[in-house]
Amino acid sequence: MAIVLGITNTQDSGACLLKNGKMIAAVNEERFNREKLTQKFPINSIKWILKEHNIKKNEIDAIGMGIWKGMSKEFFPEYVKEIISDNKIKNILKERFENSIKSDKKKKLEFFSGLKKLGLEKKPIFWCDHHLAHAYSAFMFSPFSKALTITSDARGDFLSSSVTLWKRGTNPQILHQDSEFNSLGVFYGWITNFIGFTPYRHEGKITGLAAHGNPKKCIHIMKKMIEFKNGRIIGNIGEYYAPHVKAKLPKLRKELHKHTKEDIAAAAQFWLEKIIIDYAKFYLKKTKETNLCVAGGIFANVLVNMKLRELKRVKGFFVFPHMGDGGIAAGGAAFAASRLNDKIQSIKDAYLGVEFSEREISSSMKTKNNHNYKTKKYF
């Protein structure tokens, strides 16, 4: 029976609180500092949670952290093998590796600094890697007793996707992991950047733009970038793909400039759906599982989720409400609570953060816009 504080200070930083395995609060820092998808340590989020739920610092039993754990020793040989497998791309992969180490170390130090400012630096910390945290959020808060989880995003703790088999009361079984070198999040983010939007923020605009294009016009180019084969996602590193959303790739750019933005978006969306569906089908068939839970930035794509839900083999489907990195606090907290032998409860709704009265909303709008707005009840 524990009180666990989950924290994340990656993109869309935030915090959540689990009490006896039940999530009673979750909020992201952007709600307080008004910086969209802020990565700053969520000091305001933590203060609000503790005050709102009358929790004293000395009552916190542990902190759950689902990021900055680093690479697992089990995955390390495969990661190194990828780097040294081809001399032509070795420098590209080495650069990605070095950049990841540098940025992750900086954020981990910021995390420790934030804990010290709050007087929480002596609390026990339970660490799990980024994609395991996504998987914990996807399954543990679902209504299922057993399921397959798939996580996928740009990168986190040197991974970009994972597949895990779950049964409540037992340890999760990791079936497969893809490195940050083979990232669907980077693929879609690169297209987002090429078309003129901001990667890791405006991917939804690509999804919308895709409806106005013809995927057949340049699907052949997408196939050169990234693919699914024998249970793995494979980035074809070279002239058509590199594990960075702002990679130059002049040959790829030259070919894409022959096509409209609408057709490029349509092809990217089609190919993303195809790879994810093939990925899910492969492991659902292999495990004979019928419940599927997902988390990670890729699953902010509603069309991907629709296609997964429509799979004949899928009888139960759950997307963690904050599937992006802002939900990592919940995954980290669930990991910590489970290590303390708490039974994690499924969530009934996502109304876990700051709420405002009609009077507060009207007052804020009037102050900012010098206009007297009227509110209307719809429920």
pLDDT one-digit tens code per residue, 112-155: 999 999 999 999 999 999 999 999 999 999 999 999 999 999 99
**Both structure tokens of 193:** 């950047």
pLDDT score for 377: 62
Query: Is 80 exceeded by the pLDDT of residue 2?
Result: yes
pLDDT at 42: 98
- Residue 368: band (very low, low, confident or very high) from pLDDT cuts 50, 70, 90: low
What is the pLDDT confidence band of residue 363, given thresholds at 50, 70 and 90? confident
- Model confidence pLDDT, tens digit, residues 213-264: 999 999 999 999 999 999 999 999 999 999 999 999 999 999 999 999 999 9
Structural domains in the chain, CATH included, are 3-141+324-359 (3.30.420.40), 153-319 (3.30.420.40)
User: DSSP string of 311-346?
Assistant: -TT-SEEEE-SS-SGGGHHHHHHHHHHHHTTPPPPP
Closest-CA residue to 7 (of 101, 141, 125): 125
Q: What percent of the chain has pLDDT over 90?
A: 91
CA–CA distance, 159 with 162 (Å, rounded to integer): 8
Q: What's phi and psi for 353, nearest 5 deg?
A: -115, -155
In this prediction, residue 138 carries a pLDDT of 98
pLDDT of residue 333: 98
| Dist. CA 267–CA 286, nearest whole Å | 29
So what's the pLDDT on residue 375?
A: 59
Q: Which residue has the tokens 């078309």?
A: 195
First to last CA, the chain: 36
Categorize the per-residue pLDDT at 379 as very low, low, confident or very high, splitting at 50, 70 and 90: low
Please report, for residues 84, 164, 305, the alpha-carbon distance to residue 285 in angstroms, rounded to integers and kept in the order given: 32, 14, 18
- Residue 365's pLDDT is 76
What is residue 85's predicted lDDT score, i.e. its pLDDT? 86
pTM: 0.94
Parallel/antiparallel/unpaired status of strands 226-229 and 316-319:
unpaired
- pLDDT tens digits, one per residue of 298-339: 999 999 999 999 999 999 999 999 999 999 999 999 999 999
**Cβ-based burial of 102 (10 A; exposed 0-12, middle 13-18, buried ≥19):** exposed
> Tens of pLDDT along 145-165?
999 999 999 999 999 999 999
Label residue 360 by pLDDT band (50, 70, 90): confident
